[in-house]
Amino acid sequence: MGKVILKNAVQRKPGHLYYVDAKGNVCEAVMARGGKKKKKK
């Protein structure tokens, strides 16, 4: 299991996915779907 080293190190944007790559860098990727609220019918 991983452990938290630093909280709130990155300002997160809705609809984006954040992960740590092999070199230890934090990367940001746009999610294929999600991050937007659904309309009411």
Instruction: Using a pLDDT cut of 90, give the percent of the chain over it.
Output: 10
pLDDT confidence of 26, banded at 50, 70, 90? confident
CA distance 30 to 17: 6
Give bridge partners of residue 20 from the DSSP assignment. 26
| pLDDT tens per residue across span 13-24 | 888 888 888 998
pTM of the model: 0.57
Give residue 36's pLDDT.
Answer: 65
- pLDDT, one tens digit per residue, over 2-16 is 788 888 888 888 888
